[in-house]
Structures are given as structure tokens and as C-alpha cells.
Amino acid sequence: MPRERWSQYSTVFLRCALGTAFLSAVADRFGVWGAPGQPGVAWGDFAHFQIYAAQVNAFLPPPLIPLVAWIATIMEATLGIMLIVGLCTRAAAVASGGLLLLFALAMTVSLGIKKPFEYSVFSASAGAFLLAASPVYHWTLEALLRRHAVGSQRGYRHESQSHMAF
């Protein structure tokens, strides 16, 4: 299989992997995967997620933790959707890489260097930055919208030209 074909599949896979990881984490914060304490559930509700956010960001003043938890949640939900559908893909990939890098650094400071490696946070961040460096994004909403816009412009010109010909 040619290299370009692999690149096409790898960027789609990376977008979906990062996006679904973000959305799965957000879903867990709102009990979608189950209640707190159930097998396979990290938090189960937002209160338990805020406790975790306080542990990861132990260097921050406690009053900032709810804000940090909400900002992370909103960013992860937004970036997850943007990556999966392929909207502003390069910007979403850069923002994802930055968010994951901040998360990895916060984990390192608060929990030690082993934790971000156990959860592959540095790897995910690197993957997001690699995605941002891709020259082309296949199977994206932005490509579909661009094709539609070009097609509409061509159709409009063709229609107006045909009216002028009569």
C-alpha cells in the first residue's frame, strides 16, 4: 500500500482515537459509563472528577479547581467533536496536543513522572502534534464543506452563464 494511502488512514485513525478518548472521559464525568465505584468507571460524576482534578493540579489554589475542571471538560468535549468530524482539524490538533501536554506536566508535578507514562499522556500529546503537522486531512467535514462551496460556485457560474447565453 502506498505511503500516501497509509497517511490517509493514519490521520483518520488518530483523529478518531484522540476524539473518542476525549469524549469518553467527558462521558465518564457525567455518569454515562456508570456510577462512581463501578468497574470501568473512573469518576462516575462531576464531583468525583473535581476531586481528581484537585489531585492532578495540587499546585493550584483549591478555589480554582472547579474552574479548571469545567475548562478541561468543555475543551475536551469541543476538541473531541472537532477531531472526529474534522472541523478546523489542524487547530483542534494543536489545541489537543497543548491540552494533553499541560495535563501530562500537571500530572508529573503533582503525582510524579510515572503517572503520565502509565496513562500514555505524553504519547497522546505527541500524536496530536503529529496530526497537526499532517499536510492533508482526509474524510473531514471541512473538506466536504470546501468541495460543496466549490461545487456551488461552479454551479452558480454555469447557471448564470447559461442565462446569459440565452
For the residues of 11-47, what is the DSSP string, one character each?
A: HHHHHHHHHHHHHHHHHHHTTTT-STTSTT-S-SSHH
| Count of domains for the chain | 1
Q: How far apart are CA 11 and CA 149, in angstroms?
A: 24
**Domain range spanning residue 102?**
3-138
User: pTM score, two decimals?
Assistant: 0.86
Q: What is the mean pLDDT of residues 16-34?
A: 98
Domain assignment of residue 151, yes or no: no
Domain assignment of residue 143, yes or no: no
Q: What is the mean pLDDT of residues 86-111?
A: 98
Domain assignment of residue 156, yes or no: no
Domain assignment of residue 164, yes or no: no
Q: What is the pLDDT of residues 54-96, one digit of tens each?
A: 999 999 999 999 999 999 999 999 999 999 999 999 999 999 9
Domain assignment of residue 117, yes or no: yes
Cell triple for 138: 482526509
Indicate whether 163 pLDDT > 70. Answer: no
Q: What is the pLDDT of residues 117-126, one digit of tens each?
A: 999 999 999 9
Q: CA separation (Å) from 28 to 23, 37, 45, 68?
A: 9, 12, 7, 17
Domain assignment of residue 67, yes or no: yes
